[in-house]
Each structure stands twice: as structure tokens, then as C-alpha cells.
Amino acid sequence: MPVAIAALEPSLAFWVSFLAAGLVAMSAVVNAWGRYTGGLLVAPAIAVLVMMNIFPLLWSLGLSFFAYRADRQTMNFVGLRNYARALADPVVWDRLTTTALFVVLTVTAQMVVGFLLALLFSKQFPLRRYLLILVLTPMMLSFVAVGAFFRYYYDPTFGLVSQVASWFTDENFVLVSSTAGAVTAIVIADAWMWSPFVMLLVLAGLVSVPKHLYEAAAIDRVPKWRRFWFITFPYVKGLLMLALLFRTIEAFKLFDVVFILTDGGQRTETIALYVYRQAIQFNKTSESAALSYILLFTVIVLTNLYLYLANRRSTGVAE
């Protein structure tokens, strides 16, 4: 093994040794608690996560207190100045507003469409298996292709959307030329891509409803909408909340589709795209680190608030 390590590139050899040392140290630490097997089983997972997630996260936190650019060597401690500057920047607030708008619109659209699709698939019908795959396909497409081809569909001359629009209006239809149009375009693309995910979650809830409840309700002649509201909905609610949580977290990261579709034009630049630009194109490394920590903090606060509300509600129902 040591020979094999020596044959690798020096930097890679460093990493292999680091990983091995990390594993040994980790399992040693966990073993100290007296649970030999458990520690050993968990150690590799913890090591990978520490190396690729936790360590970069701490590094990023450290950087955010310095004035540092990736293209220069100097590094000066500035305390909280990066955070103060980010919070005072009207551009940042503007991007946050844009992101919030996207979160509300895309998540709402996904929940509604996903729920309706799930209702459609909650019954058995011929070719269901194959049709389900057709509906799931958008989720499997690459963001790049979705962005590019929605640009193709929205194209003012040969785009399908514009061609359909030309049946109704004589004017040249350019969807992405205004802010409202561009936002609509992105929301449609993103909602189309991720509604199937919500559908899968809701569907799992729908098929878990015990049949005898419906049979009992049918005997008692409970109206259909009441059956839905009092039998179906409680079974789906938990999963719907989970879908809401997952999709909200994801929507906060909205990047790829915007990047390809409008590249942030027409005031559609999301905070993720803004941070990307600051960090990668302008090399404002530490400033964007501070900004991303503000973003992370926002997501964590929102998530916990949401989980708190969801828990309080579900225990309230149980009582």
C-alpha cells in the first residue's frame, strides 16, 4: 500500500494518506465511546462528509472574515465588514427579492401541478407504468438542455410558443423581453421539470390510504369532496409538507435554468447566480463567502421555522 501511495502524484498521495489517517482517527475517537462496530461502520461516511462538506464549510466561514481575492495573495482580517457590506448593498437585496419571487411562484406551481398529476396516477389504468415514465422524464433531463430548449420554444421567430401565440395576435411575440415574461418563462421551465418530483411524493401518500376508510365512507354516503378532505388529505398532508420543504430549499438554489435561459437578464438574476458571478467572474472570494453565509443562515432559519410550525400543527391534529 505505501508503495502504491508513493507512485501517485504528490498532491494525491497527500490526500490518500489524509483519508487513511482521517479514517483511523475517526474510528479511534468513536471507539472511545465503547461502541466498536457502530463507530467503524459509520466512520467512512463521516470522513467523506467532513472532507467534502464540513471542512469546506468551516473554511468558507473563516474566509468570510478576511479580505481575500482568489487572484491575489494578500489576506487581511476585516472582521464582520464583509457581512456589513453585503447587507448594506441594495443589489443584494434586489437579488434576494427576485429569488423570493421565484421561490413562491415555482414552488406553488410545482405543488399544484404535482398534486393534480398524482391524482391522475392514483388509479390503475392501461399503460400506467409507461405513462408514468413519460411524466417523470423532465426530471431526468439535464438543466442545460431544459434551459436551452425552453429558449428554443420561446424563440420569437421559430419558437413553438411564439407560433401558437401568432394565431391569436399579429404582434411579434417575444416572451423573454420583459421582466414579467422572463420570470414566467423561467417559472414554467422549472415547474415543468420538478412537478413530477412532487407528484411522486404525493402519489406515495395517496396509495397509502387504507381502502376500508373509503368503503366505510361510501356506506355512510359521505359526499366525495368531504371524503377527499377528511380521508385522503390527512394521509397526503405530511408528504405534501415534505415536498414543500424539499422544493423550497431547492428553489433557493435556483441557478442552472436561469443561467442558461436568460443568464440573469431582464432582472431575473437570482441570489445564487449573483454569488456565482461575484465569486467566479469577479474573484471577490471572501465577500461572496460572507454573502453565501447570509444565504445559508436564511435557509436554516426558514427551514427550522417551517419544521417548528409543521410539528406544532401535526401534534395539534393528533390531540
Query: According to CB under 8 A, which residues from 276 to 315 bind another protein?
Result: 276, 279-280, 285, 288-289, 292-293, 295-296, 299-300, 303
Task: Count CB atoms within 10 A of the CB of residue 158.
Answer: 9
Specify the residue, 65 or 149, whose C-beta has the smaller distance to another protein.
149
| Among positions 122, 177, 232, 266, the unique one binding another protein when judged by CB under 8 A | 122
The 135-154 site mask, x for binding another protein (CB under 8 A), equals xxxxxxxxxxx--xxx-xx-
- The residue from 7, 74, 123, 170 that contacts another protein (CB under 8 A) is 123
Decide whether 93 or 152 has the Cβ nearer to another protein.
152
Strand 75-77, strand 66-68: pairing = antiparallel
- Asked if 303 contacts 251 with a C-beta cutoff of 8 angstroms, the reply is no
Between 189 and 228, how does the x/- string for binding to another protein read (CB under 8 A)?
---x----x--xx-xxx-xx--x-----------------
Hey, which residues between 102 and 121 contact another protein (CB under 8 A)? 117, 120-121
Q: Does 53 bind another protein (CB under 8 A)?
A: yes
Q: If you ran DSSP here, which 8-state letter would residue 106 be given? A: H
Instruction: Classify residue 177 by its DSSP letter.
Output: G
Cell readout for 134 is: 413519460
Q: What are the b/e assignments for 218-257, b being 16+ CB within 10 Å? A: eeeebeeeebeeebbeebbbebbbbbbbebbebbbebebb
- 232's CB contacts (< 8 A; 6+ apart) are 206, 209
Establish if 129 lies at the interface with another protein (CB under 8 A).
yes
Nearer to another protein, 123 or 224 (CB): 123
- The neighbouring-strand residues paired with 76 are 67
